[in-house]
Homo-oligomer: A and B are copies of this chain.
Amino acid sequence: MTALAPGSTIGIMGGGQLGRMLSLAAAQLGLKCHIYSDVPGGACDVAAASTIGPYEDVDKVRAFAASVDVVTYEFENVPLQAAAAAEAVAPVRPGPKALAVAQDRLEEKTFISALGIPVAPFAAVDSSSAFETALATIGHAGILKTRRLGYDGKGQVRIRSAAELAPAFDALQRAPSVLEGLVPFAYEVSVLVVRAVSGEVRFYDIPLNTHKDGILDTSTVPSPLPAAHATRATDIAGAIAAALDYVGVLGVEMFYLPDAPEPLVVNEIAPRVHNSGHWTMDACLVSQFENHIRAVADWPLGPTGRHADVTMTNLIGDDAARWHAFAAEPNAAVHLYGKPEPRPGRKMGHVNRLRKRS
């Protein structure tokens, strides 16, 4: 496939805020979007077409894929059967391999480790018979995380002693899990890499991320990460993207341990545009959303440079009620996702606050 001409249609699986912002970016390039989602609204409100159905409906997904020029997705839990059905009739970018790896914490950590890239110590906990080995490998303090479907701090329980492992496993409904060792990190950063069909990669500047209640709170660029370590961080993200033969934007979260022999430890990867890259919408000429669309449409990648320092702050739940105050700030851009109910923990929008470039 060569570059998709303007007027072509990008199929996006997922109708949340990431799909919505991808659609807005595609529209700017004269590309149409067709959203496949299990609920209406959201991205569907800004797309030329939408199909509403369960992600498990392989026939519906195939018909959707047949009506578009390329398929991408905005969340990593697209069922692999659906991705395979789509791939039978249209290019799927990033490919199903990235999905398979990112959907399963055990596979993800195994894959990344095999590249020689540090991850937190981990051990599979598929049943209670695995407890002893896991504790022997990891120690008695760690985080038990379900292998699948965890996000924003969901599907994970902190354990502080060996005795807490069994109740933690019960709390996760004995779903196949991974016990992760604690990493004594100074802070978390993330690398946003965009990779083209040609294999060309470009990196945005690396944000420093902070969390509240297990959910991303802020991403700030520049981060205090020393230049040599920033280079190491982009090398790591580039190696993962290459190993996945990835196309599009990939988010790679990393813990930073300044004094460790391996100062960067990969926490997890997201095979999609990433919340910690939302600042690119206002501090860069070409945002992560546009670059993802450019990559999956096989367009030339856009510049990833940045013209301002910026802090992105997520608006979670009732935070969004203060939209009027945010809109009145002199150096802020307000982004609201059009979600009707501000439920606790729900991402309702974000604010990018710009500062002169340091």
Q: Chain B contacts of A23 at CB under 8 A?
A: 46
Partner of A48, one of B24, B29, B46: B46
Complex Cα distance A285/B328, Å?
13
Q: Is A327 within 8 A of B294, CB to CB? A: yes
User: Does A344 make an interface contact (CB < 8 A)?
Assistant: no
CB <8 Å contact, B336 and A28 = yes
A27-B32 contact in complex given A6-B336, A299-B324, A307-B308, C-beta closer than 8 Å: no
B300 touches A29 (CB 8 A): no
Does A91 sit within 8 A of B, measured CB to CB? no
- Residues of chain B contacted by A125 (CB below 8 angstroms): none
Return the chain B residue nearest A333 by Cβ.
B285
Q: Would you give the shortest CB distance from A288 to chain B, in whole angstroms?
A: 14
Contact B27 A20 (CB under 8 A): yes
User: Which residues of the partner chain B approach A324 to less than 8 Å between Cβ atoms?
Assistant: 3, 299-300
Which chain B positions have C-beta within 8 A of A300?
324, 327-328
Closest Cβ neighbor of A302 among chain B residues? B327
A3-B324, A48-B45, A324-B299 known; A28-B24 Cβ under 8 A: yes
Closest to A308 in B: B307
Known: A7-B338, A46-B46. A303 touches B320 (CB 8 A): no
Q: In chain A between 280 and 304, which residues have their CB closer than 8 angstroms to a CB of chain B? A: 282, 285-286, 294, 299-300, 302-303
- Chain B neighbourhood of A47, CB < 8 A: 45-46
Question: In the bound complex, how far is the Cα of B351 from the Cα of A302, in angstroms?
Answer: 13
A45 in complex: contacting residue of B20, B27, B282, B354, CB < 8 Å: B27
Which residues of B lie under 8 Å from residue A340 when comparing CB positions?
7
Q: Given A333-B286, A338-B32, answer yes or no on A27-B7 (Cβ-Cβ < 8 Å).
A: no
A231 adjacent to chain B (CB < 8 Å): no
Q: Answer whether residue A270 sits at the interface, using C-beta atoms and an 8 A cutoff.
A: no
Asked, given contacts A6-B336, A300-B328, A327-B302, whether A354 binds B27 with beta carbons under 8 Å apart, the answer is no
- With beta carbons under 8 angstroms apart, the residue of B303, B308, B323 that contacts A330 is B303
**Contact: A323 with B24, CB < 8 Å?**
no
A282 to B32, CA, bound (A): 21
